[in-house]
Chain A
Amino acid sequence: SQKIEQNSEALNIQEGKTATLTCNYTNYSPAYLQWYRQDPGRGPVFLLLIRENEKEKRKERLKVTFDTTLKQSLFHITASQPADSATYLCALNNAGNMLTFGGGTRLMVKP
């Protein structure tokens, strides 16, 4: 069956450092992969979408890579700030815009 894994343990980093979050998947051939941010008590907010034929995508301090051979995506936040503290979710997307989410990784950025 399809499986999407994100590190369930919280990631604690110091302000100014680069945060790297991992998303691994099995038994799946997604055409697209997305990353979302979720704050407590709120719904997820879309951040970035990367296509299977793209290796890397950037948006301001965010960078996403997508390796379909390794079946892995990495999500980087450079120059991290306490305001970046949240849960980050990866989601795989095939036809019809139906998303399958991973369990999310909580990021804590300490000042």
Chain B
Amino acid sequence: EAGVAQSPRYKIIEKRQSVAFWCNPISGHATLYWYQQILGQGPKLLIQFQNNGVVDDSQLPKDRFSAERLKGVDSTLKIQPAKLEDSAVYLCASSLDRRITDTQYFGPGTRLTVL
């Protein structure tokens, strides 16, 4: 079974530029998550989708971050404009559904460096 795919794996941009990350979850998984992991810290949930709807985006900085999952499968996370403090690994995860016992499977992440 293929895992969660993410691209690109690495991205370097200047501050104030925009950037987008792509995620393809495990086939059949209804729930998709985006996390931000700053170096030396644990992942922090940014947004959770159930199919193509947003369940929770309370920790998403909506002035600069946006995310969508239009067809309930792939998802994109965008930052516009980027700030230095956005340098982090952006992890995508998926689970079969939103039950607490549904295991979350993580992709390899996209490492973003903002100069």
Contacts and interface: CB of A to CB of B under 8 A. Distances in A.
Interface of A: 4, 6, 8, 31-32, 41-46, 49, 89, 91, 93-104
B104 A46 contact: yes
Contacts of B101: 32, 49
A43 B42 contact: no
Given A43-B91, A103-B42, A104-B42, A96 B98 contact: yes
Contacts, number: 62
Given A42-B109, A89-B43, 11 more contacts: A4-B42, A8-B40, A43-B93, A43-B106, A93-B100, A95-B100, A97-B97, A98-B56, A102-B42, A104-B41, A104-B42
B106 A45 contact: yes
Given A43-B91, A49-B101, A96 B55 contact: yes
Q: Which 7 A-B pairs have the closest CB atoms?
A: A43-B106, A101-B42, A97-B98, A46-B103, A103-B42, A101-B43, A44-B106
Contacts of A46: 103-105
A8, A44, A91, A102 pick with most chain B CB within 10 angstroms: A44
Nearest to B92: A43
Contacts of A93: 100
A46 B3 CA distance: 13
A99 B56 CA distance: 12
Contact of B45 (A31, A42, A98, A104): A98
B87 interface: no
21 contacts: A31-B100, A32-B101, A42-B108, A43-B107, A43-B109, A44-B106, A46-B103, A49-B101, A94-B100, A95-B100, A96-B56, A96-B98, A97-B98, A97-B102, A98-B45, A99-B43, A99-B104, A100-B45, A101-B44, A103-B42, A104-B42
Interface in B50-82: 55-56
B28 to A, nearest CB: 16
A87 B15 CA distance: 30
B9 to A, nearest CB: 9
B17 to A, nearest CB: 24
